[in-house]
Amino acid sequence: MKKFLSVLLAGILALSLVACGGGKSQSTTSASGEKVIKIGVFEPQTGENGGGGIQEVYGIRYANMIYNKVNIGGEEYKVELFEVDNKSDKTEAVNAAQKLIAEKVVAVCGSYGSGVSIAAGEYFKEAKIPAMGCSCTNPQVTNGNEYYFRTCFLDPFQGTVMSSYCKNHGYSRVAVITQLGDDYSEGLGNFFVKACEKNGIDVVAQEKFQTNEQDFKAILTNIKVANPQFIFAPSSIATAPLILSQARELGIDCQIGAGDTWENGTIIENAHGAAEGAVVTTFYEADPDKATGEEAIFLNGNGTVNGFSNYLVSMGQPKDIPAVSALGYDAYLAVFKAIEAAGSTDGNAIREALTKLSFTGVTGDISFNADGDANKNAAYVKEVENGKFVFKEVVKIN
């Protein structure tokens, strides 16, 4: 009898899956009689990149508060977000993506972290759902996937920018630290080294470390001996404070820099002052006084919202605006405008609209090239000063 029960159980399980999997159409009617379309939010809220992911989610949610009604074919639709947590994990990401597809989302925003975006991209492509990456900077995300777009620049660009920064500041000896098995870290490091060779900068040390490493003293000692003027250490926010504080402890006093991931308040807090002078490349610099248009709405609010800083505070977050939140906002806006322009919820129509889209978002003018990457040629360089990221300069690459 027991086995029949178990078979029955398994059967019920399978059926319930089928039941929750299907039977939804693209636009549904909510209880109050409004027509609703859904935009998927594909972000890590737990796991390695959980912290960065949630910051993008805030940006997307905030944009959704402002732009929540869209006119399609003469009818007004309410735009709802459907959030899934991809747990910064590729296996989870596949299921999370399928969940979005099953929910009949018309488009997707996300994700923080390129690995999960690459994994999910194949599925979005198959389902013909356009996806808009916020801060996934790996070339592979949009490469060969006509349904994936992104609002940020790419890894090669960041590596090149940092190298130009070194050149501008007269550094002739640099060192690189990268994380083994991490495409972001290795990618940035690699492009940085290539650009340095072109710029005539000497790369005096290249060190690598394992995932979850907590002891950097051995490799830092080697770097100290090589005596560089600048250390480029693109890595996750978990390792950043360790590298910074251990380097200072060993008496390495040259400037240390990294890519966009480091622009996060927790690094400054966790490094106990060792973060001073660290330099990062990032996507966006908030300047509430000079802001116009979309940026003004984002920073200072309008009738429905009263500024992103205040929104962050109301969510129990620090009031500093992370660049990825701005990207999340722009990603949502791009999707929203594309739906409006397409006048349809059809994936192909929205994709078409995205390729032709051009607007001014929070992070600047946004349009997409043939690969689906945003046409951006400038990066913002920020430096930690008195426990804060302070905007220093814009580096442009042509």
Residue 277 CA, chain-centre distance (Å), reads 24
H helix runs in the chain, sequence order: 2-21, 50-66, 90-102, 114-126, 155-168, 183-199, 217-226, 240-249, 265-270, 293-300, 308-314, 323-342, 347-356
Q: Quick check: 21 binds another protein (CB under 8 A)?
A: yes
| 388 near another protein, judged by CB under 8 A | no
Q: Is 26 in the site for another protein (CB under 8 A)?
A: no
Binding mask 69-88 toward another protein (x if CB under 8 A, else -) reads --------------xxx--x
Among 2, 170, 292, 370, binds another protein (CB under 8 A): 2
Sign for the CA dihedral angle at 369, 394, 397, 116 comes to: negative
Interaction between residue 227 and another protein (CB under 8 A): no
Instruction: Determine if 324 is a binding residue for another protein (CB under 8 A).
Output: no
Contact call for residue 182 and another protein (CB under 8 A) = yes
Out of 111, 137, 140, 281, the residue judged to bind another protein by CB under 8 A: 140
Does residue 229 interact with another protein by CB under 8 A?
Answer: no
Among 249, 287, 365, 385, binds another protein (CB under 8 A): 249
372 binding another protein? (CB under 8 A): no
Q: For the CB of residue 30, give the shortest distance to another protein in the complex, in Å.
A: 17
258 three-class SS: strand
Q: Which residues face 364 on adjacent strands?
A: 361
- The count of chain residues that interact with another protein, using the rule CB under 8 A, is 84
Torsion region of 331: left, alpha or beta (phi above 0 gives left; psi -120 to 50 gives alpha):
alpha
**Pick from 107, 238, 333, 338: which binds another protein (CB under 8 A)?**
238
344 scored as a contact of another protein (CB under 8 A)? no
Question: Is there binding between residue 204 and another protein (CB under 8 A)?
Answer: no
Q: What are phi and psi of 52, to 5 degrees?
A: -70, -40
Token pair in block for residue 108: 């997707």
Minimum CB distance to another protein smaller for 67 or for 123: 123
205 or 362: CB nearest another protein: 205
Q: Does 139 bind another protein (CB under 8 A)?
A: yes
77, 112, 147, 209: which one binds another protein (CB under 8 A): 209
Q: State the CB neighbour count (10 A cutoff) for residue 75.
A: 9
State how far the Cα of 35 lies from the Cα of 79, in Å rounded to an integer: 9
Residue partners of 315: CB distance under 8 A and separation at least 6? 58
Q: Token pair 């900068």 is at which residue?
A: 201
- How do 255-258 and 230-232 pair as beta strands? parallel
Minimum gap (Å) between residue 117 Cβ and another protein:
10
| Residue 14 lies near another protein (rule: CB under 8 A) | yes
Q: Which of 28, 30, 210, 310 binds another protein (CB under 8 A)?
A: 210
214 belongs to the binding site for another protein (CB under 8 A): yes
- Buried b / exposed e over 261-276, threshold 16 CB at 10 Å, is bbbbbebbebbeebbe
Q: Which of 22, 74, 200, 303 binds another protein (CB under 8 A)?
A: 22
Query: What's the chain's Rg over C-alpha atoms?
Result: 22
Among 225, 290, 303, 314, interactor with another protein by CB under 8 A: 225
Element (H, E) at 205: strand 202-209
* 270 lines the binding site for another protein (CB under 8 A): yes
- The mark string for 91-130 relative to another protein (x by CB under 8 A, - otherwise) is x--xx--xx-xx------------x--xx--xx---x---
